[in-house]
């Protein structure tokens, strides 16, 4: 049986979105657990980046490749902030933002 890539992407996107929404809902039940908010937001942002990357060929390359991967970097950075929060450390939002901005700047060069 051949795999249908659009269907696989849709299932993955919906599962990620539902996971993110469930984490945010759990956070709303107990707002002292900031880790849940970081991870839930990270998963939802990850879905946005995935949609941008899948639009390659439909959307311009700067949006699908450049912005989509920058959003992915930012999403994984949000999850890293959640891991720091889980261990009782202070999350640094500047690191994920810096990584996303560095990717956008790097996409300005033809070598990348």
Average pLDDT, consecutive stretches of 10 residues, N- to C-terminus, the chain (112 residues) = 84 95 96 94 95 87 86 96 94 92 86 70
Range of the domain at 44: 5-106
Instruction: Give the position of tokens 């992407």.
Output: 9
Tokens of 94: 């500047």
* Residue 103: other Cβ atoms inside 10 A: 19
Report yes or no on 87 lying in a domain.
yes
Q: 100, 80 in Cβ contact below 8 A?
A: no
Report yes or no on 111 lying in a domain.
no
Report yes or no on 97 lying in a domain.
yes
> What is the count of structural domains for the chain?
1
Report yes or no on 112 lying in a domain.
no
Which pLDDT value is given to residue 112?
Answer: 65
Report yes or no on 9 lying in a domain.
yes
Report yes or no on 37 lying in a domain.
yes
Q: 91, 82 in Cβ contact below 8 A?
A: yes
Q: 82, 39 in Cβ contact below 8 A?
A: yes
Report yes or no on 41 lying in a domain.
yes
- Rounded to 5 degrees, φ, ψ at 79 are -70, -35
Nearest to 107 by CA among 56, 72, 70, 57: 70
Report yes or no on 64 lying in a domain.
yes
């Amino acid at each position: 049986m051949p795999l249908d890539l659009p269907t696989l992407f849709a299932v993955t996107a919906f599962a990620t979105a539902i996971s993110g929404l469930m984490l945010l809902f759990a956070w709303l039940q107990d707002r002292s657990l900031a880790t849940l908010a970081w991870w839930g937001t990270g998963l939802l942002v990850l879905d946005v980046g995935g949609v941008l990357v899948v639009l390659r060929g439909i959307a311009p390359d700067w949006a699908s490749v450049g912005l989509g991967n920058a959003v992915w970097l930012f999403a994984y950075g949000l999850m890293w902030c959640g891991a720091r929060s889980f261990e009782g450390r202070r999350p640094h939002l500047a690191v994920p933002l810096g990584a996303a901005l560095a990717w956008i700047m790097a996409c300005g060069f033809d070598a990348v």
